[in-house]
Structure 1
Amino acid sequence: MTISSGENSVDSTSSLSQLAPLEAILFDVDGTLCDSDPIHYQAYREMLPEIGFNGGVPITEEFYAEYISGKHNDDMAKLFFPDDHQRGLKFTDDKEAMFRRLSKDKLKAVKGLYKLKKWVEDRGLKRAAVTNAPRENAELMISTLGLSDFFDCVILGNECEHGKPFPDPYLKALEALKVSKDHTFIFEDSVSGIKAGVAAGMPVVGLTTGNPEHLLMVARPAFLIKDFEDPKLWAALEELDRKAGEATVAA
């Protein structure tokens, strides 16, 4: 389900430079740190026909990308069981348990993640994981990737008044890290997540690890990248370093 980001019209080099000096980076988890969307998709493909959703016909990747990816489980419960919310929540809990079972030995870091991790650590930036995933899922993915000590905090959508696409989780992350939105940006891979970040007033770098470029662009990311090795990202980070250096000299 990896889809090439291709080219877009946004000048990625300058779109982050106004954030210098950078204070923090906020990361989504599912699909951003690891390419987990295919595993979620597999779980839904297996489980939704059992409850008769879509007439028992397995969902397509396009349906998953548009209506499921990045959404909060509370919204999924309403989609699958509009007249029985508690049954919907039970279904999503069962689906997440299946995801965790399927994830064993399958979760892999998005390409370039550890290169970016070193860049962040070398500059002493603050960082938070911000996710709509349940805590068990988030902790499983973060620990599997060896990032448990990397994040200063983990913000869960279900521990906020509203999850993504509302800005609440990202605003809570800014508060927890004690940083300014004017010196922070976000990595996201879903329409829901990009909308949340934009609504919180920060630039969002979108990853095309699991969702089509045309859908992501509707949510107005700063720019899109294929993965963390994308030259567009590193050009933007180099420009950030240059701007921060200029500010230091001027001071």
Structure 2
Amino acid sequence: MEIRTMINTIFFDLDGVIVDSEPIHAKAKRIILDSHSIQYPDSIFDDFIGQPDEVFFKHIYENLDKQKNPYQSLLQEKNEQFFELIPEMKLVEGFTAFINEVRNRNIKTALVSSTSTYTFGLIDKHFYLADLFDLLITEKDTERHKPFPDPYIKALQTLPASVDNTIVIEDSPNGIKSAKEAGCKVFALTTSFRTEKLMEATEIFNSYDEIAEKVLF
């Protein structure tokens, strides 16, 4: 049986899958680190793609004077900087046409992200995303986040949906690991990482047009 006849549910990650936000997150973090004279190479941002900002700043905090730079303060500063940069953000090319076609075909959808509810709210005010999905899973909905499978397990149980009829669209190794460990088929977009970093995905795609050819047409 072809995959397009099997799929009735699609789960979407947020950053790098719906919004091209990873460069904005990285820029905001770099501004905050530089403002505190905290030295890290840009490569550290890739290590935390797909994980909550809190995890990133806790990692930074472990190597700082904890009295001087509590991670909550750095996180708040980053959120404020991110808010200022949101006008620079764009939707991932092809997402709008793809999600509209998915909805026209009555395929169930969920946004499954480890981003905070606060950050999603900022993005939603700019792009009006919430109404596009049957279910929203954000950081507050699970105790453990990507790369653990909990966010996708929560989505499967809540919607509900079967792994046999669901695909997940992800862009990062952390997200792929999370979805695969939940038992899902994972389609990886090369928006944030090179192909060799995404090899654990079920299939790898360069665009939404390629995914549409696979699952819709």
Normalising to structure 1: TM-score of the pair?
Answer: 0.77
Match runs of 1:143-222 below 5 Å = 143-217=125-199, 220-222=200-202
**Larger radius of gyration between Structure 1 and Structure 2:** 1
Are 1:90 and 2:73 matched, yes or no? Answer: yes
Residues 168-195 of structure 1 deviation map (CA, whole Å, 9 limit, x = unaligned):
1111111121111111111111211111
Letter in structure 1 aligned against 2:81: M
Q: How well do the aligned residues superpose, as a CA RMSD in angstroms?
A: 2.3
Are 1:63 and 2:44 matched, yes or no? Answer: yes
Partner of 1:33: 18
| Farther-moved stretch of structure 1 (32-41 vs 17-26) | 17-26
**Residue 3 of structure 2 contacts residue 215 of structure 2 at CA under 8 Å; is this kept in 1?**
no
Partner of 2:61: 81
Q: Structure 2 unaligned runs (5+)?
A: none
Match runs of 1:4-153 below 5 Å = 17-18=2-3, 20-54=5-39, 59-60=41-42, 62-65=43-46, 67-82=47-62, 84=66, 87-103=70-86, 105-153=87-135
SS for the counterpart of 2:90 is coil
Partner of 1:225: 205
Partner Cα distance (1:134, 1:223) in 2: 28
Q: Structure 1 unaligned runs (5+)?
A: 1-13, 242-251
Partner of 1:235: 213
SS for the counterpart of 2:74 is helix
User: Are the structure 2 counterparts of residues 234 and 36 from structure 1 closer, same or farther at C-alpha, using a change threshold of 3 Å?
Assistant: same
Letter in structure 1 aligned against 2:45: Y
SS for the counterpart of 2:198 is helix
SS for the counterpart of 1:53 is coil
Partner Cα distance (2:96, 2:54) in 1: 32
Normalising to structure 2: TM-score of the pair?
Answer: 0.88
**Residue 19 of structure 1 contacts residue 184 of structure 1 at CA under 8 Å; is this kept in 2?**
no
**Residue 187 of structure 1 contacts residue 205 of structure 1 at CA under 8 Å; is this kept in 2?**
yes
User: Are the structure 2 counterparts of residues 225 and 142 from structure 1 closer, same or farther at C-alpha, using a change threshold of 3 Å?
Assistant: farther
| Farther-moved stretch of structure 1 (25-34 vs 90-99) | 90-99
**Residue 204 of structure 1 contacts residue 222 of structure 1 at CA under 8 Å; is this kept in 2?**
yes
**More RCO (CA 8 Å, sep 6+):** 1
User: Which stretches of structure 1, 4 residues or more, deviate above 3 A after TM superposition?
Assistant: 17-20, 83-86
Cα deviation for residue 137 of structure 1 reads 1.6
**Residue 110 of structure 1 contacts residue 227 of structure 1 at CA under 8 Å; is this kept in 2?**
no
Cα deviation for residue 222 of structure 1 reads 1.4
SS for the counterpart of 2:110 is strand
Residues 110-152 of structure 1 deviation map (CA, whole Å, 9 limit, x = unaligned):
1111221122112101111111111122123234333221111
Cα deviation for residue 153 of structure 1 reads 1.7
